[in-house]
């Protein structure tokens, strides 16, 4: 029997926001390229106005880059803390299970079961 394809888990709100930021950044970068091309082909007042628009678009891109970097840094810190917590809990559980198995086998061998 063929295996059913596995569904990808739903994105978390943070993942959705991150993807949205990446898409917005890519769109802004495309607009900046088009604006740069148009400004370089213009002359006079039109060129000055387009260069002003280009500077504002570059500023928006820098803000988007910093926001994205901040989000990625925050996610990285959260994942590192989560991983450390899980490793710590897994270690404690492993030790507890081993201690339980040792105690059970000792009790079985000594015959002092209740």
- To the question of pTM greater than 0.85 for the whole model, the response is no
Work out the number of other CB atoms within 10 angstroms of the CB of residue 61.
Answer: 16
What one-character DSSP code corresponds to residue 41?
T
Of 84, 81, 83, 78, which Cα lies nearest the Cα of 14? 78
Per-residue pLDDT band for 1 (boundaries 50, 70, 90) equals low
Start-end of H helices in the chain:
13-40, 44-110
User: Cβ distance 70 to 20 under 8 Å?
Assistant: no
Q: What is the pLDDT of residue 46?
A: 86
Task: For the beta carbon of residue 73, count every other beta carbon within 10 angstroms.
Answer: 10
Closest CA to 28 of 1, 2, 54, 67: 54
Indicate the domain borders of the chain.
Answer: 16-110
**What digits encode the pLDDT tens for the residues 21-51?**
888 888 888 888 888 888 888 888 888 888 8
């Amino acid at each position: 029997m063929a295996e059913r394809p596995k569904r990808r888990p739903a994105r978390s709100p943070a993942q959705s926001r991150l993807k949205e930021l990446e898409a917005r950044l890519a769109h802004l970068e495309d607009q900046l390229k088009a604006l740069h091309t148009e400004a370089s082909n213009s002359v006079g007042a039109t060129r000055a106005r387009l260069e002003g628009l280009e500077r504002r678009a570059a500023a928006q891109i820098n803000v988007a880059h910093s926001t994205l970097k901040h989000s990625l840094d925050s996610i990285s810190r959260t994942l590192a803390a989560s991983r450390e917590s899980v490793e710590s809990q897994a270690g404690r559980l492993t030790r507890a299970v081993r201690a339980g198995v040792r105690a059970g086998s000792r009790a079985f061998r000594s015959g002092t079961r209740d």
